[in-house]
A and B are shown apart, each in its own frame.
Chain A
């Protein structure tokens, strides 16, 4: 629906990719680990390999959790916009079709958070 307005109402998005100095936004949440209150927002180069995301970026953000050390990326599964999604570790974010403002959810079977409370 259109905005009810006195004049033409058309403005650019405040967060289009061109405003991020070559980076793209990627959101990543870790299911069943609500100790991290919300998914994280990252601004990353599209040329970053997915392996680097998993080995460097995510450990820095999620590493405080005692269960992070038990995460096995071979057993982990992913959702992209809520749908099952299979990453290729050797490809870059751009090569596997991850777009600006895409959202990933990491699911780690067997890990259920602090005292099994999904925390």
Chain B
């Protein structure tokens, strides 16, 4: 029988319709609510999934084509970087610590995001968001891979890059980003989309990626810049997905508004707390600074984010109350976080150091209201003590926030000389949080957060030593055993940059590349 061919090729619009919407069907052997059990329990009401608008109208075949092209370019640059000893072009070996933080704290989250979007896509009954989530899921997998490949080159030469996956599931500060994603992934698909798709990818993404990628460019790290560029066009698509998702929920039913608002409030604050690590990276870890955290917050949140919330106001969405506190915190959190890592630098898989005089002057200029008044004396004292051979390493574990899992280092919004203490009682036990934002999140869902795997408490429970460890033997050194369990190379991965193997190797190798003796 002859097939009647109408046209040789479909137009993009037709192709999109066939390759996305046309792939959907109504189930007949099982009711739809059994096939999509997660579609309704969060309380979000969707009446017509076909109202979902995908602004990119990307089909899978064109997606593969674009991504393959980007991969070819990326790997050509990575190869060239590796073969030409690109790592010796860095401004200073201190810079490496910023990308150690990235590799251990952020790249594994790209992988978790891959899983999360795959799950969200599986659980949405509408075909439009399902296809969009599928592509984002593949993107996130690609980002994880390209980052790992790009940074693996550094693993050949420097300490601290060797076991990021193992570390993510154990190390105290990595529990901050890990618990953020665990929290999102263990929610339903709609909350996940607000948490990651909207709050993280839309509201806060510029504050995460731009500082790292600009930092890489300023400090001669072409490999990282290139994976940043390769991911950038995906990020634009992700931002659009996040925004489309929130508008779709709000347009479908007026009852969705309070639920969506509650999630935005929660996830904006969760995201802001994770970004504390970025603040510290920008203000302290880049030998050649891009801008201060305060400036980044003003540009990427106060200006851009302000416009976003003005746009969402027509749906009844208001700016999360807790974000107002960030305009106070922006003056402090970078300094407070670096002070924390400096004193717990014995238990971090990267090096820490005190800023030089020049760098302190830069900090004074960027933070005229706070640096000299609250932080300079502390840092100068530590530097002087280190020069006398009395470098400060705290010997006692810090108290952590039950929700964000960051040590309780944040100060009261109206008093930067006093730690912000908040507590809640639930079912006969006390739970401590670092801020009104985190307390509010705890009080809304205490059953969820009482299960938090808080690294400090887990160490005290004896759950963070290598198998077979006997903590009762004489001379037992708990810190050394915890570091062994973390897979840290104690003495090389951790401690001060001054005197580190990274510092010595970089100086020696660069010397060989630039001098004759």
Chain A contact residues, CB within 8 Å of chain B: 1-6, 9-16, 19-21, 23, 25, 27, 29, 31-32, 34-43, 60-61, 64, 66, 81-82, 99-103, 105, 113-115, 117-119
Task: Point out the residues of chain A lying under 8 angstroms from B419, CB to CB.
Answer: 29, 34, 38-39
Mark interface residues in B34-51 (1 if CB within 8 Å of A CB, else 0): 000110011100000000
Given contacts A1-B444, A37-B343, A117-B373, 15 further A-B contacts (CB under 8 A): A12-B450, A21-B461, A27-B399, A29-B399, A34-B378, A37-B398, A39-B408, A40-B397, A40-B399, A41-B396, A41-B399, A60-B396, A82-B421, A103-B421, A117-B376
Known contacts A15-B454, A39-B408: does B447 contact A10 (CB below 8 Å)?
yes
Are A16 and B429 in contact, CB atoms less than 8 angstroms apart? yes
Closest to B41 in A: A6
Q: In the complex, are the beta carbons of A117 and B398 less than 8 A apart?
A: no
Q: Mark B399-442, 1 if CB is under 8 A from A, else 0.
A: 11000000111010000011101010001011110000000000
Cα of A27 to Cα of B434 in the assembled complex, Å: 13
**Is A38 a contact of B398 with CB atoms below 8 Å?**
yes
Assembled-state Cα–Cα distance A11/B429 (Å): 14
Q: Is B358 an interface residue (CB 8 A)?
A: no
- Report yes or no: A2 in contact with B378, Cβ–Cβ below 8 A: no
A34 to B423, CA, bound (A): 20
Number of B interface residues in the complex (CB < 8 A): 56
Residue contact A37 to B409, C-beta cutoff 8 Å: yes
| A19 lies within 8 A of B461 (CB) | yes
Q: Of all chain B residues, which has the CB nearest A44? A: B460
| Secondary structure dominating the interface of A | loop
Q: Using Cβ atoms and an 8 Å threshold, which residues of chain B touch A16?
A: 429
| Option from B340, B443, B450 in Cβ contact (under 8 Å) with A13 | B450
Given contacts A41-B456, A118-B374, contact A100 B429 (CB under 8 A): yes
Pairwise interchain contact B423-A81, C-beta atoms closer than 8 A: yes
A6 to B40, CA, bound (A): 9
A31 touches B418 (CB 8 A): yes
Given the interface pairs A38-B419, A40-B399, the reply to whether A101 lies near B447 with Cβ below 8 Å is no
Give chain B residues whose Cβ lies under 8 Å from the Cβ of A99: 430
Q: List 18 A-B contacts (CB under 8 A).
A: A2-B447, A4-B41, A4-B43, A12-B450, A13-B427, A14-B453, A16-B429, A29-B421, A32-B418, A37-B394, A38-B340, A41-B460, A42-B396, A99-B430, A101-B432, A103-B430, A115-B377, A118-B418
Question: Top 10 nearest A-B pairs by Cβ distance?
Answer: A118-B417, A119-B378, A38-B407, A115-B377, A61-B396, A43-B460, A38-B398, A37-B340, A38-B408, A101-B430
Minimum C-beta distance from A46 to chain B (A): 14
Q: Is B188 an interface residue (CB 8 A)?
A: yes
A8 CB to closest chain B CB (Å) equals 10
Question: Are the CB atoms of A119 and B374 closer together than 8 Å?
Answer: yes
Name which residue of chain B comes closest to A115, CB basis.
Answer: B377
Chain B residues engaging chain A, CB cutoff 8 angstroms: 37-38, 41-43, 188, 336, 339-340, 343-344, 373-378, 381-382, 392, 394-400, 407-409, 411, 417-419, 421, 423, 427, 429-432, 443-445, 447-448, 450-454, 456-457, 460-462
CA distance A20 to B459 in the complex (A): 10
> Shortest distance in angstroms between B123's beta carbon and chain A's nearest beta carbon?
11
Chain A residue contacts of B340, Cβ below 8 A: 37-38
A105 to B453, CA, bound (A): 25
Q: How far is it, in angstroms, between the C-alpha of A1 and the C-alpha of B456 when the chains are bound?
A: 27
* Residue from the list A9, A29, A41 in contact with B400, Cβ < 8 A: A41
Residues of B within 8 A of A9 (CB): 447-448
Interface of B is mostly: mixed
Assess A38 versus B396: contact at CB under 8 Å? Given A13-B427, A101-B429. no
Counted as pairs of residues, one from A and one from B, with CB atoms less than 8 Å apart, the total is: 152
A61 touches B377 (CB 8 A): no
CA distance A115 to B443 in the complex (A): 39
* B415 to A, closest residue via Cβ: A118
A117 touches B378 (CB 8 A): yes
The chain A residue with its CB closest to the CB of B461 is A19
CB-CB < 8 A to A66: which residues of B? 381
B396 touches A40 (CB 8 A): yes
Nearest CB in chain B: distance from A87 CB, A: 18
Q: How far is the CB of B105 from chain A (nearest CB, A)?
A: 18
Whole-angstrom distance between the alpha carbons of A6 and B411 in the complex?
A: 38
Q: Is A32's CB under 8 angstroms from B432's CB?
A: no
Measured CA separation A115–B375 after assembly (Å): 10
In the complex, A100→B427 CA distance in Å?
Answer: 13
Q: Please, how many angstroms separate the alpha-carbon atoms of A34 and B335 in the complex?
A: 11
Residues of B within 8 A of A38 (CB): 340, 398-400, 407-409, 419
- What's the least CB distance linking B46 to chain A, in Å? 16
Whether A39 touches B454, Cβ cut-off 8 Å, given contacts A29-B419, A81-B423, is no
CB–CB A11/B447 < 8 A:
yes
A37 touches B432 (CB 8 A): no
Q: Are B423 and A117 in contact (CB under 8 A)?
A: no
Q: Contact between A25 and B457 (Cβ–Cβ < 8 Å)?
A: yes
Shortest distance from the beta carbon of B390 to any chain A beta carbon, whole Å: 8
When the two chains form their complex, are residues A5 and B423 in contact, meaning their CB atoms are under 8 A apart? no
In the complex, chain A residues whose CB is within 8 Å of the CB of B343: 35-37
- Given A6-B41, A13-B429, A119-B377: A40 and B460 within 8 A (CB)? no
* Among A4, A6, A27, A40, contact of B432 (Cβ-Cβ < 8 Å): A27
Cβ-closest chain A residue relative to B340: A37
Q: How far is the CB of A91 from chain B (nearest CB, A)?
A: 21
Contacts of A61 in B (CB 8 A): 394-396
